Amino acid sequence: METFVLAGGCFWCLDAVYRRTRGVTEVVSGYTGGHVADPDYEAVCSGTTGHAEAVAVTFDESVVPGEVILGIFFTSHNPTTLNRQGYDIGTQYRSAMFYASDEQKQAFEEAIARTQQDWVDPIVTEVVPLSAFHPAEEYHQNYYDKHPSAGYCQVIINPKLAKARKYYAEWLTA
């Protein structure tokens, strides 16, 4: 098993996509990359903790390659916008990849290099060492499945799921 910690805007979006990815065994929404010892959602949303909303995605490499997990990451958000995804604005919504090993760092950098050809603007995704990962409050875990008819899910998450399915249909479930 391998775990990638990835930030691409609101963690609800990445959580929803990865929970539908074959070979993913666990997805935990949380906060990382900041300087406060025990952040909570309110503090992170203030933009003063330095944390990003992120997901820890654990997957079985014998089922789904890491390159697919990273391809889905870049398909599920816009890696060229600094500190924002759509209407979500602030450093907590930055695009970032948090590596736990030199191998992960290399894989992340290679994924950026591969993906850049798909974007006109430069990719601004940070590749930084993983610091403490703090699971978000239970309310945020698996948000999409708990609230599928919520406006945010309908307007923001559903199009991201559709885009991921378009490019990664063989890896995503219904």
Catalytic residues, by residue number, are 10
DSSP letters spanning 95-152:
EEEEESSHHHHHHHHHHHHHHHTT-SSPP--EEEE----EEPPGGGTTHHHH-TTSHH
**Three-class SS of residue 72?**
helix
| Pair 104, 98: CB distance under 8 Å | no
| Pair 112, 126: CB distance under 8 Å | no
Query: How wide is the angle at C-alpha 68 spanned by C-alphas 105 and 139, nearest 5°?
Result: 85
**Three-class SS of residue 58?**
strand
Burial tier of 81 (Cβ tally within 10 Å: 0-12, 13-18, 19+) = middle
**Three-class SS of residue 79?**
coil
